[in-house]
Amino acid sequence: MSTSPSFSNPAAPASRSALRELTGLTPAAYLREVRLERARQLLEARTTQTVAEIACAVGFEDAQYFGKVFFKRYGKRASEYLRA
């Protein structure tokens, strides 16, 4: 008998399937999209925060990765939104 606790959640696979069915995205991809959209909103609000601060505020730990996925998603650099 194992003494280590079980951390499995039997509902998790069903939840992932339901999310994918509704959005067409994996949970990680959906979370990334939500974070990117919030970052875009903050950038368009002409905030005084830097791009790196916004990236961190919405949950990206790496500002360079944020810049890469932001550009891939919106076709513009995040800094362009600040200057617009």
Crossing angle of helices 12-23 and 27-44, in 10° steps, is: 50
pTM above 0.85, yes or no: no
Res 3 pLDDT > 80: no
Residue 15: inside a domain, yes or no?
Answer: no
What is the mean predicted confidence (pLDDT) over 71-82? 91
Number of folded domains that form the chain = 1
Residue 38: inside a domain, yes or no?
Answer: yes
pLDDT digits (tens, 9 = 90+) for 14-72: 666 766 677 677 888 889 999 999 999 999 987 788 999 999 999 999 999 999 999 99
Enclosing domain of residue 54: 30-83
CATH number of the structural domain spanning residue 74: 1.10.10.60
